[in-house]
């Protein structure tokens, strides 16, 4: 199946994929909407990354998604690449999976039996493998509607535009009075066989009364420990764990600034 094709066609050109039949879903109408309804933000699976990037709603209320939309591929890739493809390809190097883990998103899978929803945390089962059945397609991304005093941030280190990330960190927080971190989601990109939900880091910070610099350091350390990176041309495993920790601290501080309305 082909949507934006910005991962599949390069794979086909390298003969890493040789499908005997391709179904182009680009012309299915109604799958490129971005809207808030009820207590959800709904993003159609065929929404192009450039449309996400240009969306005022996303930029103002879901900056973590906007951050990621700006750093995926390059501008030409973003003109075709889709939200659904970035998620359902199951590539641990893709950026939206970590963002969706941080946001606690759900995905709508549509097939002959109708629709079902799959939680982001249950979706990324292995490298290039997701929880969709062979006869299902991802049709919609559902994100819990942004609540007051919530904010998020996505940061990644890349050597050059459109390269795979050395590492990426997505953090979404909700603060309550007194600076308590009421809720937190942490997702990691490119440091394991799938995007990683850093649950221990989340558990440690959730409900914490004080989010001083020592607390942020510990959050960062835990996220680094939960990453499981492979050594490659972008760095050793130990280096990448340090990058995760560094980006976690920065992303958490930025997410808190945004939650407080400071930026």
Partner 1 sequence: MGDRIPIAVTVNGVKKEAEVEPRLLLVHFIRDDLGLTGTHVGCDTSNCSACAVLMDGRVIKACTVLAVQADGREILTVEGLSKGGRLHPVQEAFLVKHGLQCGFCTPGMIMSAYALLRENRHPTEDEIRKGISGNICRCTGYAQIIESVQQAARSKQW
Q: Which residues bind partner 1 (CB under 8 A)?
A: 2, 5-6, 9-10, 12-14, 22, 24, 26, 50, 73-77, 79-80, 161-162
Nearer to partner 1, 75 or 207 (CB): 75
- Sorted by sequence, the CB contacts under 8 Å of residue 211 that are 6+ apart come out as 179, 181, 205, 256
- Nearest residue to 63 via CA among 258, 196, 256, 261: 258
Q: Could you tell me the smallest distance in angstroms from the CB atom of residue 18 to partner 1?
A: 10
Q: Could you tell me the smallest distance in angstroms from the CB atom of residue 203 to partner 1?
A: 38
- Nearest residue to 253 via CA among 197, 189, 169: 169
How far is it, in rounded angstroms, from Cα 139 to Cα 112?
13
Strands (E) in the chain, as ranges, are: 34-37, 40-44, 106-111, 114-119, 124-126, 129-130, 137-144, 150-158, 165-176, 180-189, 196-197
| 8 A C-beta contact, residue 171 and residue 153 | yes
Nearer to partner 1, 48 or 142 (CB): 48
Q: Could you tell me the smallest distance in angstroms from the CB atom of residue 55 to partner 1?
A: 15
Nearer to partner 1, 80 or 199 (CB): 80
How far is it, in rounded angstroms, from Cα 109 to Cα 114?
8
Q: Could you tell me the smallest distance in angstroms from the CB atom of residue 4 to partner 1?
A: 9
Nearer to partner 1, 166 or 248 (CB): 166
Residue 260 sits at the vertex; the CA angle it makes with 63 and 47, to the nearest 5 degrees, is 15
Nearer to partner 1, 71 or 167 (CB): 71
Q: Could you tell me the smallest distance in angstroms from the CB atom of residue 129 to partner 1?
A: 23
What token pair was written down for 213?
């610099």
Q: Could you tell me the smallest distance in angstroms from the CB atom of residue 66 to partner 1?
A: 14
Nearer to partner 1, 17 or 216 (CB): 17
């Amino acid at each position: 199946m082909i949507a934006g094709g910005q991962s599949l066609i390069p794979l086909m050109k390298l003969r890493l994929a040789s499908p005997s039949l391709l179904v182009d879903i680009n012309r299915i109408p109604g799958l490129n909407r971005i809207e808030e309804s009820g207590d959800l933000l709904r993003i159609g699976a065929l929404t192009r990354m450039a449309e996400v990037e240009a969306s005022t709603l996303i930029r103002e209320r879901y900056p973590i998604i906007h951050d990621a939309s700006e750093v995926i591929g390059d501008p030409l890739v973003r003109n075709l690449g889709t939200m659904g493809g970035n998620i359902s390809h199951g590539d641990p190097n893709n950026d939206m999976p970590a963002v969706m883990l941080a946001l606690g998103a759900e995905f709508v899978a549509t097939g002959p039996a109708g629709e079902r929803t799959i939680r982001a945390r249950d979706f990324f089962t292995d490298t290039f493998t997701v929880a969709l059945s062979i006869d299902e397609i991802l049709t919609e991304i559902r994100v819990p509607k942004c609540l007051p005093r919530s904010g998020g941030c996505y940061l990644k280190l890349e050597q050059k535009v459109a390269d795979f990330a050395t590492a990426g960190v997505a953090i979404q927080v909700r603060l309550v009075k007194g600076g308590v971190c009421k809720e937190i989601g942490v997702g990691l990109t490119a440091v394991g066989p799938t995007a990683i939900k850093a649950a221990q880091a989340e558990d440690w910070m959730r409900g914490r009364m004080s989010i001083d610099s020592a607390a942020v350091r510990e959050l960062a350390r835990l996220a680094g420990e939960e990453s499981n990176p492979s050594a490659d041309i972008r760095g050793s495993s130990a280096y990448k764990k340090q990058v995760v920790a560094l980006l976690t601290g920065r992303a958490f501080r930025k997410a808190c600034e945004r939650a407080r309305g400071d930026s």
